Amino acid sequence: MQMTPEQLVEEYRDTVLELHLTRRRLAALEAENASLRAQLAPAEEQGHSHPHDAEDGHTHGS
């Protein structure tokens, strides 16, 4: 398929815009990940990597 110069320019612009939006989304996800890690840090310091209760069938040391 042969593209005209105008089509190539439009395709390039679309690709650049998509890359820009992807980078913004990545930055937002990295910030969210850092926030979630910060929230989990206190639980991990107490020796727990996830919240649970005694009735969930999970026991430590078995």
CA dist., res. 29 & res. 27, Å (int): 5
Instruction: Indicate if the pLDDT at residue 61 is higher than 70.
Output: no
Q: Give residue-wise pLDDT tens across range 27-59.
A: 999 999 999 999 998 877 777 555 555 455 555
Phi, psi of 22 (to 5 degrees): -65, -40
Q: What is the pTM of this model?
A: 0.59
Q: Give residue-wise pLDDT tens across range 8-18.
A: 999 999 999 99
Number of C-beta neighbours around residue 21 at 10 A? 10
